[in-house]
Structure 1
Amino acid sequence: MSPRHGNGSNQAATVIAVVADILAGVIGLWILMYLLDANRANDLVQFVQDAARWLAGWSHDLFTFDAAWLRVVAGYGLAAVVYLFIGHLVAGRLRRY
């Protein structure tokens, strides 16, 4: 294996890990804003909510707890954990090669 190949794999792995962290961070930021009752009329809050809803579209209504805050934390939190897990798993595999 050439050093050049390993370096490219490490750079790709780093990019994948950072992207996964950013995606999970956006979702985590929305959870925090929701729990702190951020003003949803604010453009930044609306942008973060829209981005998180798009990223967690498959999981944001997955659970049917009675408490709304618990549905948000569980549904969006699951998406954030999946992004972190898969992103870092792929990055780890790339670093091995």
Structure 2
Amino acid sequence: MSPRSRSHPAGRIIAVVADVMAVILGLWILMYLLDANRANDLVRFVHDAADWLAGWSRDLFTFDKEWARVVAGYGLAAVVYLFVGHAIAGRVNH
């Protein structure tokens, strides 16, 4: 029996939600660094979602360069969501 077949559905859902949150944050970092058009609906949606997800870490760092603040603030949120989400999913699965 493979490990995946023994996993609990709730654990898989928690891991997927954590992954989606991290992807949204990573996508915003990429869009910011590539200077995406903020008037575009998709860019606005991703930015708004990332702002909400990283509300607690968005202005945590005070680097001189704005790109470093964006990468550190939103990147920290993505890493925390991945770590915590997968840790919780692992506990649910066992």
Question: Is TM > 0.5 for Structure 1 vs Structure 2?
Answer: yes
Long gaps (5+) in structure 2: 1-5
CA distance in 1, matches of 2:42, 2:93: 36
Counting matched residue pairs gives 90
Of 27, 37, 53 in structure 2, the residue corresponding to residue 29 of structure 1 is 27
**Counterparts of 1:26 and 1:72 in 2: how far apart (Å)?**
13
TM-score of the two chains, using structure 1 as the length reference = 0.89
Q: Which runs of 5+ in 1 are unaligned?
A: 1-6
What is the alpha-carbon distance in structure 2 between the residues aligned to residue 82 and residue 61 of structure 1?
16
Give me the CA root mean square deviation.
Answer: 1.3
How far is 1:37 from its partner?
0.3
Structure 1 residue runs of 4 or more that deviate by more than 2 Å after TM superposition: none
Query: Quick check: which has more Rg, 1 or 2?
Result: 1
Secondary structure at the residue paired with 2:8? Answer: helix
